[in-house]
Structure 1
Amino acid sequence: MTELAFDSLATPTLSPEHSQGGARLSEWGVIRAEGADAASFLQGQLTSDILGLASGAAALAGYCSAKGRLLASFVVWSPAPEVYLLACSADLLPATLKRLSMFVLRAKCRLTDASGELALWGVAGRDAGLPEGPAWTVRPAGAGQAVRLPDALGLPRWLVVQPAEDAAPVTAPLDLAAWRWLEVASGVVRIVAATVDRFVPQMVNLELVGGVNFKKGCYPGQEVVARSQYRGTLKRRALLLALPAGAQAELKEGQEIFHDADPGQPAGLVALAARSPTGEQLALVEVKLALARAPGAFRLGAADGPLLQPRALPYPLPSNDD
């Protein structure tokens, strides 16, 4: 693994029969922010430029602690004037909503959990029949809206939000495992309860996929995030690592990763993991870059744990990362 070429590794794969359709995303939830000050309130809380968000556009955003560690990640867009929807992991939504609500104070912004009235669907495939367009565009889709997500493994993907009682947005069902596999393969992190307060955004490549704006005003942890960006080289990044089908171990968010070159201490942490419908496992894993370039291999859970195989990210890592 010396001088590992992160962009010349084998690419994860997904069989054609698992590459088309829609899956109900029960592990996602939705926070609604509404009111005359909704945009300015979110501007002061999230890593993305919410005030600069154009009509018909969505943004990837992080929500950090004062120490710059991610407490949540969101897909954010405005379905109507003075209304914003924030899609995130359902397992951290209650705590995140409570924390955000503490800082509303006198702002004219009402925050509520809209998960009971709105359903989120993940749709993938070239024959989905949903509006095309660049990543992070938002278009009407039936009684709801479709957010175009970044492609994964060459497949277009959408996050569809619609009334909970409505029928599926597409006819063909998609295996939820296939959707999760595509999500991990896209290299776009989703913070879950097991990884809350573990990563500065750059550790999981959030700024590389458009989730951090370094020109906007202050937000919690902004100084730490900016210092991590501009003080020099970054020491930790997220890579894709895989376990072959048939492996007895299971990749899970929050698990520690070790490396042969420094077996006495953890080399990183699993940020997001999935098992494909055919059994192979894939994870976006935050690691020490120095170890990624050292002789040896990453292992799951312990210094003598199962061997993890590197896979190609869909985007390059900056050449000045150390």
Structure 2
Amino acid sequence: MKVDSSHPSLESLPAAYACRIQNQSMISVSGDERRSYLQGQLTCDVNSLTETSLLVGAHCDAKGKVFSAFRLFEHAEQIMMLMSPESASASLQQLKKFAVFANAELQFADVQAVALAGDNIDEILSPLLPSLPDSEHPVSRYQALTIIKFDGHKSGYIIVGNDDELSTFVQGLNIPVYDNAIWTLLDVINGFPTLSNAAIEEYVPQMLNLQAINGISFTKGCYMGQETVARMKYLGKNKRAMFSLQGKTEHLVESSALLEKQLGDNWRRGGNMTNLYQADDGSLYVQAVLANDTDLNDIFRIKDLADTVLTQMPLPYDLDDK
């Protein structure tokens, strides 16, 4: 499949497009005890997973700090966890340590994923599929492919399968195919946490808005880090949250750059980026963990880049605890 390597701004994306999700990795979990094992490790209620459901969750260390935030679903009689490669490496290493005591096998999945999005994507897909997954049943099957609906300001579908089947299906749509950077843009716009190496084991799930996207079950019972996560909810100790920011600069921005917040005529450290997309025209779309009382009118910039003004983008969900 021919891939367009340009990085358009959000406003210049076409009405329907695909993007490779090669900046994400998948962990596959198989074995008779895969559900019960993951239930004791993850923040989401794995026991509620069905063939047509999609779960969001986090994998934490014993202190409640997040190794990974992921989308979890079934594919080819396995449970799949889709997340950033850095998070996948960290989570796989930790999950394997305890899997030796359960009939559960974890490994990197040998499948690929492509996202389909744009205002006209439903119109293009509907004639080709028996039915489209929806918000109530966000996962469906077509031949050997798994089709997953994702919601947000820019909704769409994730198609999972082997490379040949996936390429054949996408080529038949006759729409532009972008590289994986566009998936970063979609995650930023939709407020879905994606962690780089620097962010792993730095934040509890509520600092990444997992409670706002149904990524934490407070009724499922014990799991790794559960005590800290519960304390954050019931004692109100969380002081940070994840936000989406946008701006523009003529400079190339590194994902490790720090953010500064404007206070009068001065600038002070404002927070840390977790994800970044920079378009070819210099447009910036930043995901960052900031103080949870950040105001809509607060101004941020990339440290040492005076020309960069970053303002808040609306999130597609309410940050209040659930």
1:243 matched to 2:247? The reply is: yes
Alignment pair present for 1:71 and 2:56: no
Give the AA of the match of 2:144. A
Q: Which amino acid aligns with 2:152?
A: D
> CA offsets per residue over residues 134-183 of structure 1, 9 Å max, x none?
17711113421011111334xx3111110123242323133234332222
1:43 aligns with 2:19: no
Q: What stretches of structure 1 of length at least 5 have no aligned partner?
A: 1-12
Q: How far 1:70 moved relative to its partner? A: 0.9
Partner of 1:4: none
**217-226 or 123-132: which moved more?**
123-132
Where does residue 6 of structure 1 map in the other structure? none
Residues 305/211 of structure 1: CA separation in 2 closer, same or farther (3 Å cut) = farther
Secondary structure in 2 matching 1:54: coil
Distance 2:211 2:63 in 1: 17
**Contact persistence 2:245–2:310 (CA under 8 A):** yes
The answer (yes or no) to whether the contact 2:160–2:166 under 8 Å persists in 1 is no
Offset at residue 215 of structure 1 (A): 0.9
Give the structure 2 partner of residue 10 of structure 1. none
Shift, 1:240, TM fit:
1.4
Report if aligned partners of 1:259, 1:303 keep a CA contact under 8 Å in 2. Answer: no
Cross-structure match for 2:116: 123
Deviates more, 1:225-234 or 1:41-50: 225-234
Given the superposition, is the C-alpha separation of residues 102 and 136 from structure 1 closer, same or farther in structure 2, using an over 3 Å criterion? farther
Say if 2:83 is the partner of 1:88.
yes
- What's the TM-score once normalised by structure 1's chain length? 0.83
How many residues get paired? 300
Of residues 184, 191, 194, the one that matches 1:190 is 194
What residue ranges of structure 2 are gaps of 5+ in the alignment?
1-8
Aligned-residue offset at 1:74: 1.6
Match of 1:7 in 2: none
Residues 15, 306 of structure 1: alpha-carbon distance in 2 compared, 3 angstrom cutoff? closer
Q: Does 2:226 align with 1:227? A: no
Question: Structure 1 residue 206 and structure 2 residue 210: aligned?
Answer: yes
- Cα shift at 1:196: 0.8
Q: Percent identity?
A: 24
- Alignment partners' CA distance in 2, 1:221 and 1:205: 16
| SS of residue matched to 2:151 | strand
**TM norm structure 2:** 0.83
* C-alpha contact (below 8 Å) 1:257/1:299 kept by paired residues: yes
Q: Which residue of 2 aligns with 1:59?
A: 55
| Maintained 8 Å contact 2:20/2:178 | no
- SS class of match (1:97): helix
8 Å CA contact 1:251–1:270 kept in 2: the answer is no
- Residues 251-284 of structure 1, C-alpha deviations (whole Å, 9 max, x = no match): 62x4322222396863211122212454411112
CA separation of 1:227 and 1:303: change in aligned 2, threshold 3 A: farther
Q: Which amino acid aligns with 1:120?
A: A
Q: Are 2:134 and 2:149, in contact at CA under 8 Å, matched by a contact in 1?
A: yes
In the superposition, relative to structure 1, how do residues 185 and 92 fare at CA in structure 2: closer, same or farther (>3 Å)? same
Q: Which moved more, 1:95-104 or 1:128-137?
A: 128-137
Pairwise CA distance, 1:226: 0.9
> Which of the numbers 306, 316, 319 marks the counterpart of 2:308?
306
Q: CA RMSD in A?
A: 2.7
What do the CA deviations read for 1:216-238 (whole angstroms, capped 9, x no partner)?
12111111111111112642111
Secondary structure, in 3 states, of the residue corresponding to 2:246? strand
**Separation in 2, partners of 1:150, 1:206:** 15
Partner of 1:110: 105
**Whole-Å separation in 1 of the counterparts to 2:133 and 2:90:** 35
Q: Distance in 2 between matches of 1:142 and 1:273?
A: 35
User: Residues 224, 19 of structure 1: CA spacing in aligned structure 2 closer, same or farther, 3 A cutoff?
Assistant: farther
* Local SS of the residue matching 1:165: helix
